[in-house]
Amino acid sequence: MTDNTAPHATDRRSEDPILLQCREWINDLLTDPKLLRLDKKLRSSNLFSILGASHRELWHSAFLKWVLDPQTGLGLGAYPLECFLRALPLCGGNAGLALGERMSLQWISETAPRFQFACEFSHQDLQSKRANMGRARIDIFGEALSGDPNHDTPDDERTVLARIIIENKVKASETGDQTEAYHEWAEKQHGITRCKNSLDVFVFLSPFRVPGPKCEQFVVMTYQDLHEYVLRRVRSHPGLAPEAAFLLDHYALNLALPIAVTGNRPMANTHEDMCREVYEAHQEVLDLIYSVVMAGKGGAPSSNSRRTSRSYSVNITDIVEVGGQLTLQKKDGTQVHALVQKDGSIDVVGDQSLTGLTVSAAATKLLERSANGWREWKAIDKEGAVRPLSDLRDAYVLSQSAESDDVP
């Protein structure tokens, strides 16, 4: 006799709890608003890419001149330039450290407002030493002069206090002897309308630290440094005009676009904070994904990913006895209890609709948001302390690793 009855839906208790946990964590990741906001940012168009200027050095130089020049309409005076100068010693290298010894905070605050900038600066004495290179041009050139910046001072009474020379590279390395030619020209200017203690600041701005400049006097500043130490701080200034904030936001989006000739690496990761938030909320599943990808490429997974892959093989019954009690605190402060079942699921005490669930599924329903149950649920360890399940799981994995290392 044929059984024509419809098959029953699979009981959640009969599913592999580890596989079920993986599915729920991946679903939590893909539906997390933080990840969705990041994805939206990465897909957004920006003004620079629309104009076809995503990776053109001249456009970047013009924009940065606008940001750094105290005389422009950014509305913050010398604040962006002060951030820039204070950042140079933080970029590392002997040139940056030497520069930091000469630029005191007082010198920066007194000198920065005097600077005026130009792009594609050229001088009759600024020549390349290599044949057929012709007259060289400095991408971004700034000069601070003595005298009262708020009143006209006769040119013959003004001397150069400081100069900033920025060689900007986006998709190419240094051409010829550019940095050496700039440094040689600047050295020749000493004693010519310059005060005794004048300072030259040489900066090599590039998406990557390697290859660097040929002249060792140049401080290497990456676009990541520029974003973290300058642009992001300018963007958060309370006095920033709305139209300037709009342009800075679009420029940050543009910096995050990949450059084809550099292996699709971006000029800077301007979404690092958002990426970190997503990673911290979903570290287990992201570490596992990374481990699988690296294994497929023949690479060595990180210690975090190796630990996470072992963590996925841990059942809750490995760290809490069957019938053991778990505790979760809701956002209003009330505590909810659950009991561990033999199959690795949990039953929430007092709620028959919340039975046979994984710890993450139960936590998500109780907290009404995407939740990592291993972090939200707590249990009592062997010493009587109340700890998150993730801590108990990590301790268990470490103990198992130590035991396996002891086996000959």
Domain that holds residue 146: 47-269
pLDDT recorded at residue 175: 78
Do 166 and 296 share a domain, yes or no? no
pLDDT recorded at residue 401: 62
Do 61 and 122 share a domain, yes or no? yes
Residue 258 dihedral angles phi and psi, to the nearest 5°: -70, 150
pLDDT recorded at residue 158: 66
Residue-wise pLDDT tens digits, 329-360: 988 889 999 999 998 899 999 998 999 998 88
CA R_g for the chain: 30
Do 305 and 185 share a domain, yes or no? no
- Percentage of the chain exceeding pLDDT 70: 80
* Between residues 154 and 262, the one the model is more confident about: 262
Is pLDDT at 197 greater than 80 in this prediction?
A: no
Domain tally, the chain: 3
Do 322 and 264 share a domain, yes or no? no
Q: Is the peptide bond before 211 cis (omega within 30 degrees of 0)?
A: yes
User: Does residue 405 form part of some domain?
Assistant: no
Distance in angstroms (rounded) separating the CA atoms of residues 375 and 390: 5
Distance in angstroms (rounded) separating the CA atoms of residues 203 and 193: 23
pTM exceeds cut of 0.85: no
pLDDT recorded at residue 407: 46
Do 112 and 238 share a domain, yes or no? yes
Provide the greatest CA pair distance for the chain: 112
Do 177 and 250 share a domain, yes or no? yes
Q: Any residues with CB less than 8 A from the CB of 26 and at least 6 apart, and which?
A: 285
Do 167 and 300 share a domain, yes or no? no
**Strand order in 194-206's β-sheet?**
115-121, 138-145, 160-168, 194-206, 219-222
User: Does residue 394 form part of some domain?
Assistant: yes
* Between residues 24 and 105, the one the model is more confident about: 105
> H helices of 227-334, where?
232-235, 242-255, 272-281, 283-296, 303-311
Is pLDDT at 183 greater than 60 in this prediction?
A: yes
* Between residues 276 and 308, the one the model is more confident about: 276
Task: Give the pair of three-digit tokens for residue 5.
Answer: 């009855």
pLDDT recorded at residue 110: 93
What SS3 state is found at 379? strand
Residue 253's nearest CA partner among 29, 38, 27, 11 is 38
Band the pLDDT of 280: cuts 50, 70, 90.
confident
Distance in angstroms (rounded) separating the CA atoms of residues 174 and 196: 31
> H helices of 123-201, where?
178-188
pLDDT recorded at residue 394: 79
User: Does residue 393 form part of some domain?
Assistant: yes
User: Does residue 5 form part of some domain?
Assistant: no
Do 263 and 393 share a domain, yes or no? no
